[in-house]
Chain A
């Protein structure tokens, strides 16, 4: 539905202002602001202002815009609709700001913010001081301020004989002699002071009926609501009210209270009360320092346990279920590994997926693997790593908490699987963070007060699912360390603003000058470069180690327990692992001595030497699968070892033995037999084996789950320019032109072509909106190379590739390097 028919309105231009012409009269910054507030309007970019007007007033996008309004904004809008739409058809006539302020019972200035927002989102437009809501709102907000339809609308639906009787009872002429009876009655009922008179006629007995309907609902159930009544025959108060038109039957069982009557009964007030201010968030006060410490501790725990999990997955990845999720058993195992519960584990996994740290390996083997991004993530410092995760969490539509329930068809949902998307989840998370930050210092907000505040902020989003999401968000914030003991940590105050900044999408670890990262880094334990070695062959790092040292130590010793500290245990196998990775015994001892705060225990030194002595004593070849050893006794020992018969060993020389078994089997079995051979390269040197970390090449997650990406300011500005250009083209066609009829009329496509050709010639960049063959809208910045055969060949800067675009699919175009003519 549009608020005016395009061409017809244009013919009248110069007379009454229409929605379209109001839109056209907006300045470029205002249009940009409109696109920023309602990004769905520019996907794809409308061809012109008329198209924009049509789209801006279509129901789905208006619903989306309404969802953004807080309770006061909604009350203002409902007020405008209630007051400014007496005819109940066509474009609402609008109302004045002063009237609205009186009806809402707030000072005029208080309306600045909500009206500004309504105007920015183009839900309300102004016409010579009148604030006019768009007409589609009438169908969406059916009972604004719990008010019924205006009296005109109600009466208009009545049959003629009923109208005549009503006119008679009101003392008006009947029939069509003096114009349409409905209009006459309507005019009479809305006459100032008239309702007061009629109420007096109806009598006190009728008052309770009206009072019950005054504050809504505006409809009531009455048997035989369309009964034949007149003042003369009325027996009950309902009869009298019906006879006087103070309530009007809409069908057999329902009566409605006309809007004007209700407003009169309410003394002209729209709401009781008008909720201009959000309810405060409150709760018990806790020790702020302790809370911050708890949050920082949780941050530390999250980073450590996630790293632990993904390193474990590197070696032993869990399978991807058919529905794309993770099995319950794998979830349990992960929770156990991370020393957390399943909800916590699910959240971390979903967050890792959203942050692009894990992805399904490939279609064939279907395993969840860390991605190459994970290596980038791991190289960041802890504060950045956390920022990466939290940024992903804030923007992810995945609600991990849903994983524990079942879907509408009773199938259980799986973590990382289908059915865990909630489009409004990112919005709820930002709102919850904002609510938390509005709490007084050190206050651990009561979840109910947070819910109440969100109910005010998003009145149209309420429901069980929303409440659940709010509750989950509070727990998740605690789990991720945004809050400690449910108090928003000081370092987390700025995170919402940073994570939603446009630059964040391209830099997942946050901007270089991130305040959050700096504040958080100050709270996290400083990485240590030392540990304590003990006689029981353990090393205790009494805090997080610097990454390089942690890696070296983890190579030479097994991690036994983690937490604030890390306990490593040395064993022959772990030392051998370090030697296998190319570390020398001397080097290892030197490393331990350098970083240990305590003297190197003799047994450990001996262990390293002993393993080094054995290490590489036997060498295994690939080409012919052979064994050789400088010590003939070892080989003869091996040859006579009855456990090795399955290897098909046979001696070649005193120091060389060949095998029929393949090299890996040989290596394995000899290791089992306790010989610990090393593999040998072709040239006879020792081959160093690195356990190859497995990585997925899968794309970062989240993008296909999210709605259309919110375009950045540059794109928004370009969209406005394209819109202007399109509109200019559109309007130019309809104007009488001087060129003879033989000239083909210029169309938006022609404009597009002209701009593209010009750009191709001049070598400039243009912004284009494009609908691909599947109808998916996208926008790109391209450098046109040539335009021919209905195709544009251009270098796409966003994809860094030369692409071809079908010209007829280009929805809009705008040169980027120059300001468009206005």
Chain B
């Protein structure tokens, strides 16, 4: 009796409680994407992309088939094995390489494939002169676009053209009083070996440190792209603490300051800003001969930056994220433009190892009052979600929940400013929202970290990259419709390991029988698939003083 079951839709089910599960996981990890990791049965998916990544990492079809035959509980359909061998065989028929005479060129092992490719409408304009029967020149600027287009055609090119080293700059890790955790080192090394790629780690697992470690391995000028200004400052202080870099070596490139230093941290917002239809800050990419580009929260990468990234294929690229789910479904673009996934691990496993705090997720359902229900039914469709998710009943409940955790730092997170103001007034707590100035934000965060402030109400500006290690309770009162990654990020706020090893608590307050409940279910699915099962309790149970 083995632990792996192969499904006809090319998903693999792994029974985690099985004795050979670990062994099997290692065998299938190179070619299958972990899709869901709930308590008992993990789901991996074999996609062409994953198979090609496996080829890129030096695995062959024989090895994949062998893993199937060894671990599969039931016979594997022959057609599936054939399909896998065929798919893997498509990789590497085309090679992108630096031609000694002509520069960047596309070379084919299989003449027929080249003929098909050069005739493809989308690819033709990216190619130059045909210098040999099996070699076509490629415009260096089209390297990324070509790779993306070839992937879509199903003939992924093996990129052997290498990377420019960039401007060298000494960076070292300053491991005084702390050291790299095992998985951080593995992630950084796996990135360094591959040259480019994405590292997926849960919130609170220290992605910044992985970034720092990668920089220390590359030892070159680095451009770091992050989500917002607060995050710029956090990166900056983290780099100062963890590496040999000094204040003068790190520049900030944001709405307010435009410094270009050997290590420059910029916000996506600035990069994507346009004036009269022109991206005015594009030159930052050309400002230095960057040896490494780091994309923080790569799942949020805006479309213009995608396009710019296509031009950066000769530079090393590192993507960092907790959740490689994009609500726009452009995960494939992340893979082809930033690079394949280099490291991933189930959240629950990190939790078991103590690297992130265990979390207890509770959904609290509140009832709309009768008059609210009537109002909800008559509301305009575009207002319905806003109406139900900011029901007044939630305020009462939040007050009760906060009162339940008198000694803990509580974050109240929501999307609607009116609602946040209302809750803040009820709790007598400050609010951080879009209009709050950066200085004020940082002051409040500092107060919260130090313990001066026990309760903080935040809007979605605090969704990402805000390091609040001592926050132990998060109460989500409204969300951005069904965004799964937002939910995960918000849970991430409380996942930093606590000094006393406490369990974090994550409440989602949801209005019953409304759109709010439907969206909440969608959001929670992602976390449930990461192994965070929700409990559901009724608001009146909470209000009547029952144990949660």
Contacts and interface: CB of A to CB of B under 8 A. Distances in A.
A116 B532 CA distance: 78
B6 A563 contact: yes
A99 B331 CA distance: 82
Interface stretch (A85-93, A339-347, A377-385, A578-586): A339-347
B531 interface: yes
B227 interface: no
Contacts of A537: 525, 528
A564 B71 CA distance: 13
Contacts of A485: 78
A532 B77 CA distance: 24
A354 interface: no
A602 B525 CA distance: 14
A537 B15 CA distance: 16
A633 B13 contact: no
A151 B91 CA distance: 71
A598 B72 CA distance: 22
A540 B39 contact: no
B374 interface: yes
B36 A565 contact: no
Interface size band for A = 35 or more
B194 interface: no
A543 interface: yes
Contacts of A338: 8
Given A297-B75, A534-B38, A535-B39, A565 B374 contact: no
Interface in A532-549: 532, 534-538, 540, 542-543
A478 B74 CA distance: 17
B8 A301 contact: yes
Contacts of B7: 561-565, 567
Contacts of B72: 564
Contacts of B531: 535
Contact of B77 (A297, A561, A642): A297
B39 A340 contact: no
Interface stretch (A220-228, A288-296, A689-697): A288-296
B79 interface: yes
B41 interface: yes
Interface string B89-105: 00000000000000000
B363 to A, nearest CB: 8
A340 B74 CA distance: 18
Contacts of B78: 294, 298, 478, 484-485
Nearest to B536: A606
Given A297-B74, A339-B9, A642-B378, A540 B41 contact: yes
Contacts of A535: 38-39, 528, 531-534
A107 interface: no
Contacts of A606: 536
Contacts of B8: 301, 305, 338-339, 561-563
A340 B75 contact: no
A536 B524 CA distance: 8
B533 A601 contact: yes
A712 interface: no
Contacts of B513: 614, 674
Interface string A291-324: 0011011101100010000000000000000000
Contact of B5 (A296, A340, A534, A542): A542
Nearest to A537: B528
A638 interface: yes
| Dominant SS among interface residues on chain A | mixed
Nearest to A539: B41
Contact of B534 (A603, A637, A642): A603
Contact of B74 (A300, A305, A636): A300
A603 B527 CA distance: 13
A290 B69 contact: yes
A525 B7 CA distance: 15
Contacts of B363: 603
Given A341-B79, A563-B8, A638 B377 contact: yes
A563 B39 CA distance: 21
A127 to B, nearest CB: 57
Contacts of A532: 15, 40-41
Sort chain B's interface into a size bin: 35 or more
A251 interface: no
Interface string A340-361: 1100100000000000000000
B307 interface: no
A641 interface: yes
Contacts of A637: 373-374, 377
A564 B6 contact: yes
B152 interface: no
A184 B61 CA distance: 80
Interface string A601-618: 111001000000010000
Contacts of A636: 374
Contacts, number: 124
A678 to B, nearest CB: 16
A534 B38 CA distance: 7
A640 interface: yes
A540 B17 CA distance: 14
B69 to A, nearest CB: 7
A641 B535 CA distance: 33
B11 interface: yes
Contacts of A564: 5-7, 13, 72-74
B134 interface: no
Given A534-B40, A536-B36, A562-B8, A567 B13 contact: yes
A450 to B, nearest CB: 18
A641 B373 CA distance: 11
Contacts of B36: 536
A563 B9 contact: yes
B381 to A, nearest CB: 8
A614 B43 CA distance: 32
B76 A297 contact: yes
Given A525-B74, A537-B528, A603 B377 contact: no
A730 to B, nearest CB: 61
A601 B528 CA distance: 11
Nearest to A485: B78
B10 to A, nearest CB: 8
B11 A294 contact: no
Contacts of B534: 535, 602-603
Interface string B504-524: 000000000100000000000
A561 B528 contact: no
B529 interface: yes
Contacts of B377: 637-638, 640-641
Interface in B124-141: none
> Which of A305, A532, A561, A563: most chain B Cβ within 10 A?
A563
A534 B13 CA distance: 13
Contacts of A561: 7-9, 11
Residue of B11, B363, B377, B528 with highest tally of chain A CB at under 10 A: B377
Contacts of A674: 513
Contacts of A601: 533
Contacts of A484: 75, 78
B38 A538 contact: yes
Nearest to A540: B41
Nearest to B81: A294
B370 interface: yes
Contacts of B41: 532, 534, 538, 540, 542
A602 B536 contact: yes
Given A300-B74, A637-B374, 9 more contacts: A297-B77, A536-B533, A542-B15, A561-B7, A561-B8, A562-B8, A563-B8, A598-B39, A641-B377
Chain A to chain B: the 5 pairs with minimum beta-carbon distance, closest first: A297-B75, A535-B533, A563-B7, A536-B528, A564-B74
28 contacts: A294-B76, A338-B8, A339-B8, A339-B9, A340-B79, A525-B74, A534-B38, A535-B38, A536-B36, A536-B525, A540-B40, A542-B41, A543-B5, A561-B8, A562-B8, A563-B6, A563-B8, A564-B5, A564-B13, A567-B11, A567-B13, A602-B533, A602-B535, A603-B535, A633-B370, A636-B374, A637-B373, A638-B377
